[in-house]
Amino acid sequence: MRVHGSRNYWNKQLILLLVFMLVAEGFFTMLAPQTAKAAAPAPGGVSGDLISWVEFTKSMEQGKIENNLVTELQDLADEGRKWTPFATKEQKVENIGNKMINFHLVTVPESSDAAVQYKTNSPFADPTSNAREVFSVQSKDLDEACPAVPPPGTYNSGFPWVMGGTMPDEYCSPKTGFGRISSGLGSTQVRGTVNPFKELPTMLNVSSAVNSWRLNMNGAITGGESTNTVNWETTGADDGYYAIGGAKATPFKGGNIAEVLVYNRTLTDTERQQVNSYLALKYGMTMATRDYLASDGITKMFSHADNTGYGKHITGIGRDDNGTLNQKQSKSQVAGANVTIALGDAITATNDANTNPIANDKSFFVFSDNNLSTVYAKVIDNDDLPASHQLQLATSVTSAKMMNRAYKVDKSADWSDAPITLKVDGADASENQVFLFVSPDSAFSSDVTALPLDAATGQITVNSSVLSDGSYFTFVEYVDKRSLESHVIDAGTLVEANYTAASWQAFQQALADSNSILTDANKMQDEVNAALKALEDARVALVSIAALQEKVDEINGEITGGTLTETDYTEESWAELQNKLGEAQTVLNDPNATKAEIDAALKALETARGNLVMAGAELESLNVFNADDRSPIDFEPPFDGDRYLNYTTVSNSVYGVGIELKALNPNSTVKVTLNGQEVDAAEWDRLPLHEGLNVIKVEVTDPNGNTNVYRIEVYRVSNKLISLTPSTGVLEPAFDTLTENYKMSVTNSVYQLHWTPVTLDSTATIEFSVNGGAYAGIARGTATPLHSLQVGDNTVVFKVTDQDGVERLYTVIVTRASAPTPGDGGGGGNGGNSGNGGNEGGSATAPVPSDGSDIRTSVNGKEYSFATGKTSTSGDRTITSVQVDLDKLNNALNQGNGQKLEILSPKDSDLKVDGLTAETVKQIADKGATLEIINPLAIYPVPGGKMDFNGVSKQLDNAALGDIAVHIDIKRSSDTLINNAKNKASAEGYELLVNPVDLDLTFSHGSKTVRSEQLNGYAAKYIAQPEDIDPNRITTGVIVNPDGSVFHVPTVVTKINNRYYAMINDLRSSGSYSVIWNPQDFDDVKKHWGKADVNNIAARLDLAGTGNNTFSPDRNVTRSEFSEIVGLGLGLMRQNAPENMFPDVPASAWYRNSVAIATEFDIVRGYDDGNFYGDQQITREQGIAMVARAYNLIDPQTSLSENRIAELLANYKDAASVSAWARAEVARLIEVGIVQGNGPQLLSPQSNMTRAETTALIARLLKTTNLIDK
């Protein structure tokens, strides 16, 4: 891809533009040509006696292009005056853009020894004032020898123009040594000077009158004569004509002309200053001593008096309507300039290509510099850095260096602040981070604002309010040691006794190396980063014994304190606890113990403590048998009354079990529950099993009140699917677990499919085959690879095999339609309209508004009527009702695939759309088309491609899709909801930026109305923001609950037709949405490496702080906390959570809903014993696995092969430590760039994950999938 700054890229664009002009046989009319009598506005606001004005870009646009040559330039001051090529020196289109002056096009000759030259088609009238004055802007690259003694014997290169007077003229410009400029404008003599300029391009001004001849360069007098005999005729070839690009026979070799102005009088000093100011700001020239005046002769664009000590490389943007100035990006053309400014968030190829508007007339943003070097040489003391960038340790030494050159801002009073982009030369190649420093004082000693430039582009976009009038700015190469220092400070909080000796020794070495980096002022960023990486790796590699030691101390404390008494428990369970205590102590005493050994010892100890069985309340025996034939069912391991948890697996043919039990104490009472429901003793021999996990609990209570609860888990295997979703199309009949044969029809344009099957039993395997081919395995809940479809019938078979090897086959016959014959109106598969704007076969007249609704509909951006509207009122609400005409809509769809359909209501009212059917919505999706419903509140793209139409049909008694009506509403939420939301925002401390908006999509058949509920993929909807919104003050979109509380939904701020929208991405088809501003800046992350992600994720309400404006970034995260962060981050949270599947997650737990929802989406999973263990700290591989499943929810992927998994993990030297169950998920995140790194690095899969690491992982997930702003 070519970047916008590429010369060749923009050449190509300009050539295409100009060729288009030729084909169209018309002229651009961006600026209407004006005669001298009507020449207002004019350059600098000076229109009187302006007899000629050629500005290359506009004159070319209004001229002619023939055979790839610019054959005519239009004079902008005289409609009848044309400039045509002189001596075949016309401009070639292909060369345009090879050179520019301050983002403006100029003439470009074929070579440095050639010229582009145009002559006028008629002579100028002699000035009645007997005076003439000419202004021009040009550059010249030819390196030529200049004769030393004037007048020279030969002329090397002509003057940029000839406008009457003695000839020849000369403009001699060597790269070194002296140059010469001489001209006979309006005179009988040739006038000139040596060394007239030092830098190019130049701004030239020559005037001639009786006894007065003057030459100015860049606003300063360079030469003049007090005696002068005027002459307005040209001599030599083509007498009486005038030329641009050379003095007739002496062409302006290697020269580039931007603009030439001719006045038939001598201007006043003020007028001359206005015109020079116009040219200087427009073309990046610096007038060394003169102020820059606007067209009113009063307003100053730039004042030298206000910029004493500066005034070099004057650069600016601004608008002056009467002065025809609209400069939106600029870089000084004076040698040594190094800063570019552009209005908006990008620097475009030309000034005209920048479409951002300057708000006010006669408003300017200008800066200049002190002309010092651009070397980063001034070492900045730590105390002189902004507080946010200072190092904290007394021993730390900063490595920041400031550029010698400084800049001062001169903003006019009427300037309206807006986003601007600054680019500093060389910043994109710097090894260190470059910052923009802004301060109210030139010493940068107070109130310094530091903002980082983009390292790849050397640019930064800020609101111009950051650079106030009179403020100073410069640039700093900043070696950022803050994160390294933060890690060093954090290391000081660690206690040696909490870690194994070997891992602590390695960590101390990395810490010493980091301290050495911190105390060295000459270290570069790559050295700092390497030290930080080594310290982080050593920190991650620390093997903590704290949790195990804490558990050992806790249990020993219970024993010594009398809480645990040996006589209260069975001999076997007590002995097991003592055994695990001993094993744990052995691990604690091993200096080289691994984390896996420590974790295993901890889990074993916790299990032994949990399995202490109360003496007297134990079971002596427990038998489980098949309820049908009473055949015994074995436990794994065999039942032991001294162990609470017992589990077994049964085949799918076992529909029920019975239990026989005997309490050790015959006087004990026993209660049995099955899946949470108590069972009478008479029913204990026939407990029905559903497929999947069944939990039987046996509660034994002895006469003394001691109670033991035994948990028996019976897993009934299954070979059934619970869903089968095609990438497009609808199964017939709707999918049902027990139905094994289906049909599906697709159009000819559907040439490939993929499927997403989900088994009831997570242990079952899935394979699929297409048209009798070999079976290929596919993971549960992931998409199959795309497979092709032949015209006619295609057979797709899914084979599901349970743990016992029992298979079940689901077969789908997919029928792909034949290609349409010409003229049958079918979709042509052309990916868009049929070349006529979608009008073929129907009228494309503009819709007629009905009842003042002003409804507009369009196809591919062209008006086409397929709906009517009417407006009504209900209470204080105005309602616009739209009725879709299905015949006209279908006619539009038949014009081809990929149509873009819109229904627009410009009224600020509630909007209701009816007339659609589920079949039509599905057809729109199947044809790759889109339908957007738009009003001033929101844009709602109908998510037809993400809907489960089978599920909708099933909810409506299996109604045909053509019989299901679709209703879409966009409306302001109820006053009650709005007030609730505002009250909740006030109480929680965030700002509600817009009143909640309801987006609703429902389906109805008969008397029944339903919603599609969850979509099968993320879909966008757009909430309009207030007209005056600052996009930097939008944190995120939210879903608003009935009580006014909100949940985060992933959001990207985007601009559509000059208005900002919050593009909300979620899995809902309906909801109440709003947008909030909730900035976060935790005190304890100000210097932490994770600052940006921590504050970003916390601001989105995905993770709360820990009190007192702190976040505790290095604290470990538990499994329950991680579940909530993922659910909130992905926008999955809701108030009506599903049933909880884990016995150790009580209904009262704060994390109950988040765990249930994350389980529903298969993001979190429990342990083999059926528990969740929410209080356990999550390991890195567990966190990565959860995020990988979340990624698959956003962007379903095919399974990775074992070879690919091994290839991706091979770059990490501890890949062998990744558990077998997690290898695929870890490899997936490496592949998509969420887990990053090259070369031999550490994954540290068994290490615990911190809060900062969690926010970084979630942020990368959301940014990588484009769900939030990057």
Provide the token pair at 1159.
Answer: 């389980």
Domains identified in the chain, total number: 7
- Which of 696, 716, 736 terminates a domain? The answer is 716
Number of H helices, E strands in the chain: 20, 71
- Burial-class residue 220 by CB neighbours within 10 Å (0-12, 13-18, 19+): middle
Report yes or no on 971 lying in a domain.
no
Give pLDDT, residue 63. Answer: 94
Kindly write down the DSSP assignment for every residue of 768-789, as one continuous string.
EEETT---EEE-TTSPPPPEE-
Contact 739, 782 (CB under 8 A): no
Report yes or no on 990 lying in a domain.
no
Provide the token pair at 540.
Answer: 């991650």
Contact 700, 668 (CB under 8 A): yes
Pair 1195, 1091 in one domain: yes
Pair 148, 47 in one domain: yes
Contact 403, 475 (CB under 8 A): yes
Give pLDDT, residue 38. Answer: 40
Pair 471, 372 in one domain: yes
Min mean pLDDT across 582-586, 1156-1160, 1214-1218 is at 1214-1218
Task: Render pLDDT for 1195-1212 as a digit per residue (tens, 0 to 9).
Answer: 877 778 888 888 888 877
Report yes or no on 615 lying in a domain.
no
- Burial-class residue 177 by CB neighbours within 10 Å (0-12, 13-18, 19+): exposed
> pLDDT grade, residue 171 (50/70/90)?
low
CATH assignment of the domain containing 533: 1.20.5
Task: Render pLDDT for 205-225 as a digit per residue (tens, 0 to 9).
Answer: 999 999 999 988 898 887 888
Question: How far is Cα 1134 from Cα 1089, in angstroms, rounded to an integer?
Answer: 32
Range of the domain at 792: 721-816
Please tell me whether residue 474 adopts helix, strand or coil conformation: strand
Give pLDDT, residue 1166. Answer: 82
Question: How far is Cα 1055 from Cα 1024, in angstroms, rounded to an integer?
Answer: 10
Pair 35, 156 in one domain: yes
Kindly write down the DSSP assignment for every residue of 888-900, as one continuous string.
HHHHHHTT-SS-E
**Strand ranges of the sheet holding 459-463, from the earlier edge strand across to the other edge:** 329-331, 339-343, 419-424, 459-463
pLDDT: which is higher, 440 or 112: 440
Task: Render pLDDT for 951-964 as a digit per residue (tens, 0 to 9).
Answer: 888 888 888 898 99
Pair 402, 467 in one domain: yes
Pair 218, 232 in one domain: yes
Over range 402-429, report the average pLDDT: 94
Pair 237, 384 in one domain: no
- Which of 496, 521, 541 terminates a domain? The answer is 541
What's at 13, amino acid-wise? Q
CATH assignment of the domain containing 810: 2.60.40.10
Question: How far is Cα 700 from Cα 622, in angstroms, rounded to an integer?
Answer: 12
Give pLDDT, residue 152. Answer: 46
Task: Render pLDDT for 1034-1064 as a digit per residue (tens, 0 to 9).
Answer: 888 999 998 889 998 999 888 888 888 999 9
Report yes or no on 529 lying in a domain.
yes
Pair 327, 451 in one domain: yes
> pLDDT grade, residue 281 (50/70/90)?
very high
Over range 565-572, report the average pLDDT: 87
Contacts of residue 603, Cβ cutoff 8 Å, sequence gap at least 6: none
Pair 45, 123 in one domain: yes
Residue 1089 pLDDT greater than 90, yes or no: no
Over range 784-809, report the average pLDDT: 91
Computed over every residue of the chain, the mean pLDDT equals 84
- Which of 716, 732, 749 terminates a domain? The answer is 716
> Which residues are paired to 92 by β-bridges?
69
Task: Render pLDDT for 876-889 as a digit per residue (tens, 0 to 9).
Answer: 888 999 999 988 88
Give pLDDT, residue 1238. Answer: 35
Report yes or no on 1244 lying in a domain.
yes
Give pLDDT, residue 668. Answer: 92
Report yes or no on 1221 lying in a domain.
yes
> pLDDT grade, residue 1240 (50/70/90)?
very low
Q: What are the backbone angles phi and psi of residue 712, rounded to the nearest 5°?
A: -115, 120
pLDDT: which is higher, 1212 or 561: 561
How many of the other CB atoms lie within 10 Å of CB of 197? Answer: 19
Residue 905 pLDDT greater than 80, yes or no: yes
Pair 574, 682 in one domain: no
- Tell whether the torsion through CA atoms of 1162, 1165, 1169 and 1170 is positive or negative: negative
Report yes or no on 88 lying in a domain.
yes
How many of the other CB atoms lie within 10 Å of CB of 374? Answer: 18
Give pLDDT, residue 524. Answer: 82
Report yes or no on 831 lying in a domain.
no
Question: How far is Cα 4 from Cα 267, in angstroms, rounded to an integer?
Answer: 40
Provide the token pair at 1045.
Answer: 């509380």
**Span between the terminal Cα atoms of the chain, in Å:** 20
Pair 370, 399 in one domain: yes
Pair 461, 330 in one domain: yes
Residue 197 pLDDT greater than 50, yes or no: no
CATH assignment of the domain containing 688: 2.60.40
